[in-house]
Amino acid sequence: MKLGRTRLFASDRTVRSFVRQGLWRAIALALLWWILLEGDRKGWWYGLPVIAAATATSLWLAPEAGQFWHPVGLVRFISFFLWQSLRGGIDVALRAIDPRLPLHPQLIEYRLRVPVGPAQIVLMNTISLLPGTLSVALHPMLLQVHVLDGRMDVQRSLQQVEAVVAELFEIAIEQ
Amino acid sequence: MEVFYFSIALFLLLNVLLGLVRVLQGPTPADRMLAAQLFGTTGVAMLLLLAQGMGIPALRDVALVFALLGGLTVVAFVRRSWIVPDENGER
Amino acid sequence: MTIWDWLSTALLLIGAFFFFAGTLGLLRFPDVYNRLHALTKADNVGLGLTVLGLAIQSGSWVIALKLLLIWLLVLVTSATAAHLIANAALYDHVQRWRRS
β-strands A142-147, A106-111 pairing: antiparallel
Q: State the virtual CA torsion across A82, A85, A91, A96 in degrees, nearest 10.
A: -130
Provide the pLDDT confidence category of residue A146 given band limits of 50, 70 and 90: very high
Q: Which residue on chain B is closest to A37 by alpha carbon?
A: B61
Between residues C67 and B80, the one the model is more confident about:
C67
Nearest to C11 by CA among A95, A19, A86: A86
**Does residue B81 carry a pLDDT above 70?**
no
pLDDT digits (tens, 9 = 90+) for A103-145: 888 888 999 988 888 889 999 999 998 888 999 989 888 999 9
Q: Mean pLDDT throughout C84-94?
A: 83
Residues 28-67 of C with CB under 8 A from B: 32, 35-36, 39-40, 43-44, 46-47, 50-51, 54, 57-58, 63, 66-67
Kindly report the three-state secondary structure assignment for every residue of A91-159.
HHHHHHHCCCCCCECEEEEEECCCCCCHHHHHHHHHHHHCCCEEEEEEECCEEEEEECECCCCHHHHHH
End-to-end CA distance of chain A: 52
Between residues A1 and C41, the one the model is more confident about:
C41
**Does residue B16 carry a pLDDT above 60?**
yes
Q: Mean pLDDT throughout B20-45?
A: 85
**Does residue A1 carry a pLDDT above 50?**
no
Residue A131 pLDDT: 85
Residue C46 pLDDT: 93
Residue A53 pLDDT: 94
Is C89 touching B (CB cutoff 8 A)?
yes
Residue B73 pLDDT: 85
> Which residues does chain B have within 8 Å of residue A38's beta carbon, measured at their own beta carbons?
57, 60
Give the span between the Cα atoms of A112 and A145, in whole angstroms.
Answer: 12
**How far A6 CA sits from the closest chain B CA (Å)?**
47
**How far A31 CA sits from the closest chain C CA (Å)?**
10
CA A51 to chain centre: 23
pLDDT digits (tens, 9 = 90+) for B36-70: 788 889 999 999 999 999 989 899 999 999 888 88
Contact across the interface for B70 and C78, Cβ inside 8 Å: yes
Q: Helices B29-38 and B2-25 meet at what angle, rounded to 10? A: 170
Q: Across chain B, what does the average pLDDT equal?
A: 84
Are A43 and A33 in contact, with CB atoms under 8 Å apart?
yes
**Does residue B27 carry a pLDDT above 80?**
yes
- The CB density around residue B86, as the number of other CB atoms within 10 Å, is 7
Q: Which residue on chain B is closest to A39 by alpha carbon?
A: B57
Give me the residue spans of the domains in chain C.
Answer: 3-91
The DSSP code for B82 is S
Residue A5 pLDDT: 46
Which of B41, B56, B59, B73 should one mutate to test binding to chain C, selecting the residue with the greatest count of C CBs within 10 A? B41
> Which residues does chain B have within 8 Å of residue C92's beta carbon, measured at their own beta carbons?
28-30, 82
Q: Mean pLDDT throughout B5-31?
A: 89
Residue A68 pLDDT: 67
Residue A8 pLDDT: 46
Q: Which long-range contacts (CB under 8 A, 24 or more apart) does A21-24 make?
A: A21/A59, A21/A63, A21/A65, A22/A55, A22/A59
pLDDT digits (tens, 9 = 90+) for A26-36: 999 999 999 99
Residue B2 pLDDT: 83
String of DSSP letters for A14-68: HHHHHHHHHHHHHHHHHHHHHHHTTT-STTHHHHHHHHHHHHHHHHHH--SPPPP
Are B44 and B89 in contact, with CB atoms under 8 Å apart?
no
Q: What percent of chain C has pLDDT over 90?
A: 44
> Which residues does chain C have within 8 Å of residue B49's beta carbon, measured at their own beta carbons?
12, 50, 54
Residue B91 pLDDT: 43
Q: Mean pLDDT throughout C62-72?
A: 93
Coil vs helix vs strand at B36: helix
List the strands of the sheet with A106-111, edge to edge.
A106-111, A142-147, A133-139
Residue A48 pLDDT: 93
Q: Mean pLDDT throughout A91-98?
A: 91
**How far C47 CA sits from the closest chain B CA (Å)?**
6
> Which residues does chain B have within 8 Å of residue A36's beta carbon, measured at their own beta carbons?
61, 64
Between residues A70 and B62, the one the model is more confident about:
B62
Between residues C27 and B80, the one the model is more confident about:
C27
| Count of B-C CB contacts under 8 Å | 142
Are C63 and C52 in contact, with CB atoms under 8 Å apart?
no
Residue A154 pLDDT: 87
Nearest CB to B41; choose among C44, C58, C91: C44
**Does residue B87 carry a pLDDT above 60?**
no
Contact across the interface for A148 and C34, Cβ inside 8 Å: yes
Nearest to C38 by CA among C6, C86, C3, C70: C86
Nearest to C99 by CA among A143, A148, A157: A148
Check the CA dihedral A55-A59-A62-A68 and report its sign. positive
Residue A67 pLDDT: 66
Between residues A5 and A102, the one the model is more confident about:
A102
